[in-house]
Structure 1
Amino acid sequence: MEDGVLKEGFLVKRGHIVHNWKARWFILRQNTLLYYKLEGGRKVTPPKGRILLDGCTITCPCLEYENRPLLIKLKTQTSTEYFLEACSREERDAWAFEITGAIHAGQPGKVQQLHILKNSFKLPPHISLHRIVDKMHDSSSGIRPSPNMEQGSTYKKTFIGSSLVDWLISNSFSANRLEAVTLASMLMEENFLRPVGVRSMGAIRSGDLAEQFLDDSTALYTFAESHKKKISSKEDISLSTVELSGTVVKQGYLAKQEENRPVGGFSLRGSLVSALEDNGVPTGVKGNVQGNLFKVITKDDTHYYIQASSKAERTEWIEAIKKLT
């Protein structure tokens, strides 16, 4: 990536005069979003246009096109509107995050603004936090928790932070993303929501108000009350309770090779763990995985081959896992 480029990639842009939609290559810099025509898969220079970000406002999610849920709307100081469509929710959120950062670059007052909003934000008198939570639980129009993965672990009955922000705005509980983040923080403080996993728990521990609730597609949350009420099966208890509220024995990055299985977590109860030397690498394992390998065999005889960053790290992981098996 070139110097000064914050993000680049494909977005589908709505035309200004004729409202057709065309793929363009976008390059985000500190104060400008440039876009280029494409010919033969390559950008055509000079840029076809530029969006000046100073004084720009961003709307995400933009709900003006029912059949295009992945839109971002930018409105410039001169009230020109740009509609940009991403290829996935993750890409949309990543672009919105980077563009918002570029708009607010050099404005340390944003954290102060959050503090002011935190102290001044009031729910309309006819709306209570209980009503919002009831609406979130609604089977047709609420938020549906589902399995989500973070850093190799799968967490049941969770939703991502940016999804809740989207939902609060689309249901008119908040006028913008800043208000929605503040409202979500209030729901956490009142124990209607709880953070799940490394990313969202880390934000709570940081103690920084601006980062209490994360408008982010990698931060996970769950319903605090429904979690307590609805867990019934042994499977749910063994997986969800440990993952949502268990003590972290060890954490860090590992490379894992699986054969014909979906990515996700697995139970360590009743499993066997052992170190593998270089000649113990199984046939069929792809890539450069020589060295620092260990193997976990679960009680249903599934074999996982995992690579640590060093022999010392491998030993630490093996010892930590043995304590749990």
Structure 2
Amino acid sequence: MEQEGGVLKEGFLVKRGHIVHNWKVRWFVLKQNTLLYYKLEGGRKGTSPKGQILLDGCTITCPCLEYETRPLLIKLRTRTSTDYFLEACSREDRDAWAFEITGAIHAGQPGKVQQLHLMKNSFQLPSHISLHDIIDKMHDSSCGIRPSPNMKQGSTYKKTFIGSSLVDWLISNHFAASRIEAVTLASMLMEENFLKPIGNRSTEAIRSGDLAEQFLDDSTALYIFNESCKKKTNSKEEFNFSAAELSGTVIKQGYLAKQGHKRKNWKEENRPVGGFSLRGSLVSALEDNGVPTGVKGNVQGNLFKVITKDDVHYYIQASSKAERAEWIEAIKRLT
């Protein structure tokens, strides 16, 4: 539903720079034919856009698998072949952005938008089955899918399987009831980085921008297991948290601005750089009129404070009053 001022959607995304390929948090505003992005100044959206992406003639690729360590990417290619890489904070957020951007691109084609709605809502993985379960069974030596060498486009690829074979396997193992469902499920496995396309046929489908055919039910399309999924960095080595805390269910996630403890500057990080336990903490909203005590810099609005059981004070800014209220409520449930 379109918001006031013609805004279809807005929020934080991490954008790759054009010249220096660093990644920075930007505030994005989607309109009918334009995607605007703003710098964050003192924890707030800047007054003027830093840039814009014209959506007329754009193609969108989601999931974008060009960065193995960034599975939550969306790629936009403009009519002039300029590529934009945007990273969301969760799969749900990424898919919501991709869906709204695709709708804006095809705004003049109501049939295409209706098709996207049907695609989005047509398939649900049964609650008792996880993608991990499917991958484990695919690896099973007795009943799994057996990778083998395949030659396509003049090249030989080791330990691969063809798209139509995976569709057959998913149906025969009762993970999907039809080929359409199996293709959707295989696309989900690629979205979560369990599978990778290999060779020209399957990689071109990913880059085509056609959300309906990311995975190909085709005897010429090749795929492999993404073995890097098994080489995740142990979070215990990066942060001094207990295993119980790290294995808990995600209650809420998203981008927030936090005041630094030493330099007192405000940052919006796009990778985990630290954390703290919420057990025994206190959380409260801060006044929106003026700069509250303890806050450095001209930062106002949508602020809240968390005081840990060790009396460490964290000052955090949300993107809106509603978002602040949601964070406070979520944190209170964990304290």
So what's the TM-score if we normalise by structure 1? 0.41
Higher relative contact order (CA 8 A, sep 6+): 2
Structure number, greater radius of gyration = 1
